[in-house]
Amino acid sequence: MLKDVLSLKMGRSVASIVRSHVPEHRVSQMMDHFTQYVGSSPYASPAVLCSIAHMQTEEGIWYPIGGTRAVPEALSKLAGELGVDIRTGTDILRIETGGGSVSGVTTAGGETIACDAVVSNCDAVRTYRELLSGTPESTKFEKSNRYEAACSGVVLYLGLNRRYEQLLHHNFVFSKDPEEEFDYIYKKGQPAPDPTAYVCAPAISEPEVAPDGCESLYILVHTPYLRPGHDWKAMLPGYRDVILDKLERTAGMEGIRDAIVTENSLTPEGIHNRYRVLNGAIYGLASHGKFTGAFKPGNRRKDLHGLYLAGGAAHPGPGMPMVLMSGWIAADSLDQDVTNGKFA
């Protein structure tokens, strides 16, 4: 047990552990970049998150045929078969409470649905700040927690009339200087002038997503979460140029602008409005803090009987696999509580 605790290397960051084993700066940059996919800087994240690189490189990654949306589509089909009533397009404005327990939810249409338990998949901080606004639990949560939003990002969705033979399904085009890049994203709160780009070319695994000889690209560049004064409608054209220049310069994708036949994009503002996350954060809450940074708000809430949290800003954290686990843990906790007579 003590050996396990010591192996967590508490008090040290991902970057310091990786760099103490791997002095070659380009290889260490590649290895500690994995923490970006939980929206956090490797220089500020606890060493236990080195496990992300281990899991992805040793155990591999999955591609759902049909893209990521195939996962929620399959889940909603299964839920429908089990008799679950799913109401999309229904905003929840409030979680109703009384006597230390939840008692229902109120929709934007003014309907109050009475219930003994609520599993909130809304961002954890926004659940307390907005859906529970004005309650003692909301005030206490704000006072006792200092959660920081994870980073955000810009996505370019490009349909190209040609292919670049050097591309694999998953590609990374790294910045020259990761310290400078993370300083911009996490400290200065400005988009990095020389960013790292994740370039996904899914036609390599699923040819149906692009016509023959063409390419459908998903390009993700991490940016700071939304800060006051960020106006992405004005910032996007300039940053799109930064990204396309980077791909031409570092990934050998010359002529990419001329090859674009269809284009769409997502900015931190778009992410914020579409998914209603905290300040446009892609991955819930940052994992910053060398001792406890990896801990997220627990799924079963001790402060409010009947409230459970699930999603990227709840335990165990962000990203599709962990979010699915989060829903599973929340559902299991509720199931245990029902079985143990806590709702009797």
Ligand X SMILES: Cc1cc2nc3c(=O)[nH]c(=O)nc-3n(C[C@H](O)[C@H](O)[C@H](O)COP(=O)(O)OP(=O)(O)OC[C@H]3O[C@@H](n4cnc5c(N)ncnc54)[C@H](O)[C@@H]3O)c2cc1C
Over the window 222 to 261, marking each residue x when it contacts ligand X by CB under 6 A and - when it does not, the resulting string is ----------------------------------------
SS3 154: strand
The residue type at 53 = A
Q: How far apart are CA 21 and CA 173, in angstroms?
A: 23
CB of 61 to ligand X, least distance (A): 9
Site for ligand X contains 311 (CB under 6 A):
yes
| Nearest to ligand X of 10, 55 (CB atom) | 55
Say if residues 196 and 172 touch (Cβ distance below 8 Å).
yes
Q: Which residues contact 89 (CB under 8 A, 6 or more apart)?
A: none
Helix (H) or strand (E) holding 331: helix 320-339
Q: Which residues contact 61 (CB under 8 A, 6 or more apart)?
A: 170
Among 13, 28, 312, 315, binds ligand X (CB under 6 A): 312
| Nearest to ligand X of 222, 288 (CB atom) | 222
Helix (H) or strand (E) holding 181: helix 178-182
Among 153, 191, 297, 306, binds ligand X (CB under 6 A): 153
Over the window 81 to 120, marking each residue x when it contacts ligand X by CB under 6 A and - when it does not, the resulting string is ----------xx----------------------------
Size of the site for ligand X (CB under 6 A): 19
The residue type at 142 = E
Beta strands of 33-136 (E only): which ranges? 92-98, 101-107, 112-114, 118-120
Site for ligand X contains 155 (CB under 6 A):
yes
Among 150, 285, 323, 329, binds ligand X (CB under 6 A): 323
CB of 316 to ligand X, least distance (A): 11
Instruction: Output DSSP code: residue 56.
Output: I
CB of 216 to ligand X, least distance (A): 15
Site for ligand X contains 320 (CB under 6 A):
yes
| Nearest to ligand X of 259, 266 (CB atom) | 266
Number of Cβ within 10 Å of residue 310's Cβ equals 24
* Pairing relationship of beta strands 307-309 and 197-200 according to DSSP bridges: unpaired
Site for ligand X contains 282 (CB under 6 A):
yes
| Residues forming the site for ligand X (CB under 6 A) | 91-92, 121-122, 153, 155, 220, 266, 271, 275-276, 282-283, 311-312, 318-320, 323
